[in-house]
């Protein structure tokens, strides 16, 4: 599966619409017509045929089906293009190209495969989506930059810019930092994973689940549910906490309607959480967060920065 959509590429790369534009090429040298069917040889693959800028539609199933005005067929075996027209195509502007959607899908997939190849020594590829069906934001970003590099051949200024965003001599590109362990994907276990990673599930109130504190113990992995039971301001609103029960997530209630006081309060597995709100902010009933946590002592897949002791002799 491609890691990005066409729209994501356009949103990420300002030159994207230019880089993904398919270029039509002229078709010259039409031969003599036989029953109004004109042949052109050596055209290369044709998936879109235009006559004076008008798309003539999909190709016919075979040359025998080319029987009415504007119908056409390209034979991949003989590299022969056949067009039915009452007007000599040598006097028309005839162009061939490729369907934009087909071309775009193919190129995005190619960029995805390159990213997989660059990262396969460190990660299991292809990468998987999260529970919402989304690919990691960092993965999408580097795929978009890789596509920009691939599409900008012949445009040195653009090409070098996006190459540098991925890898460069100072090793500050995104790929440089990923491979060096200086930045991580969301799914990686790092030194902070035992503190938990907070994400919003559904929040409409003004209180923010700001941070966690502590080191998780007695658990390998869990997705903890924190939910507001009674809405209101700090000092009035209450929250409950649910952990996994055997193999079922978010069903074991471990904190029941505790009043939110703005300080560090109990979560689960030895962790604490803290809510924050500005003056006048209130929580809304059923505001919900998820805290993904891995137990202290689990293998770290991305230790991040490393240090070493140096001594002079």
1 domain-assigned? no
What pLDDT shows up at residue 194?
54
204 domain-assigned? yes
* CA–CA distance, 123 with 61 (Å, rounded to integer): 44
End-to-end CA distance of the chain: 55
- 3-state secondary structure at position 234: coil
What pLDDT shows up at residue 189?
47
307 domain-assigned? no
**Residues lower than pLDDT 50 in the chain:** 189-193, 298-313
299 domain-assigned? no
Quick: pLDDT tens for 141-196.
Answer: 999 999 999 999 989 999 999 999 999 999 999 999 999 888 888 766 444 445 78
Find, among 113, 109, 114, the residue nearest to 163 by Cα. Answer: 114
Phi, psi of 111 (to 5 degrees): -65, -40
What pLDDT shows up at residue 23?
78
69 domain-assigned? yes
Same domain, 14 and 160: yes
What pLDDT shows up at residue 222?
92
CA 66 to chain centre: 42
Same domain, 129 and 174: yes
Count of domains forming the chain = 3
Q: Which domain holds residue 174?
A: 6-20+101-180
Same domain, 120 and 208: no
What pLDDT shows up at residue 93?
95
Alpha helices in the chain (DSSP H): 6-12, 16-19, 100-119, 137-151, 156-166, 174-180
Same domain, 32 and 13: no
Same domain, 143 and 112: yes
* pTM of the complete model beyond 0.85: no
What pLDDT shows up at residue 128?
82
Find, among 234, 296, 240, the residue nearest to 262 by Cα. Answer: 234
Same domain, 93 and 105: no
244 with 222: CB under 8 angstroms?
Answer: yes
* CA–CA distance, 244 with 251 (Å, rounded to integer): 6
Find, among 304, 302, 11, 1, the residue nearest to 145 by Cα. Answer: 11
* CA–CA distance, 196 with 203 (Å, rounded to integer): 19
**H or E stretch at 202:** strand 197-202
What pLDDT shows up at residue 191?
43
Which of 64, 82, 98 corresponds to the end of one domain? 98
310 domain-assigned? no
């Amino acid at each position: 599966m491609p890691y990005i959509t066409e729209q994501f590429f356009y949103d990420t790369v300002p030159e994207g619409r230019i880089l993904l534009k398919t270029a039509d090429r002229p078709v010259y040298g039409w031969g003599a017509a036989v029953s109004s069917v004109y042949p052109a040889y050596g055209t290369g693959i044709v998936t879109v045929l235009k006559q004076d800028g008008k798309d003539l539609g999909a190709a016919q199933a075979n040359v025998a089906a080319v029987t009415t005005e504007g119908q056409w067929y390209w034979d991949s075996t003989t590299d022969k293009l056949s067009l039915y027209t009452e007007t000599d195509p040598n006097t028309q502007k005839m162009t061939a190209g490729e369907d934009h959607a087909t071309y775009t899908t193919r190129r995005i997939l190619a960029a995805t495969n390159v990213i997989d190849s660059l990262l396969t020594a460190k990660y299991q590829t292809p990468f998987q989506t999260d529970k919402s069906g989304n690919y990691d934001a960092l993965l999408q970003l580097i795929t978009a930059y890789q596509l920009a590099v691939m599409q900008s051949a012949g445009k040195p200024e653009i090409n070098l810019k996006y190459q540098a965003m991925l890898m460069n001599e100072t090793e500050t590109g995104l790929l440089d930092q990923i491979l060096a362990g200086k930045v991580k994907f969301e799914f990686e276990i790092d030194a902070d994973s035992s503190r938990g990673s907070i994400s919003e599930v559904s929040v409409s109130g003004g209180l923010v689940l700001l941070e966690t504190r502590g080191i998780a113990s007695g658990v390998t992995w869990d997705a903890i549910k924190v939910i507001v039971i009674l809405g209101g301001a700090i000092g009035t609103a209450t929250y409950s906490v649910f952990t996994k029960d055997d193999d079922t997530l978010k069903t074991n209630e471990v904190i029941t309607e505790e009043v939110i006081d703005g300080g560090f309060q109990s979560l689960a597995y030895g962790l604490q959480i803290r809510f924050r709100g500005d003056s006048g902010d209130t929580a809304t009933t059923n505001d919900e967060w998820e805290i993904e946590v891995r137990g202290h002592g689990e293998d770290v897949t991305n230790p991040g920065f490393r240090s070493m002791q140096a001594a002079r002799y």
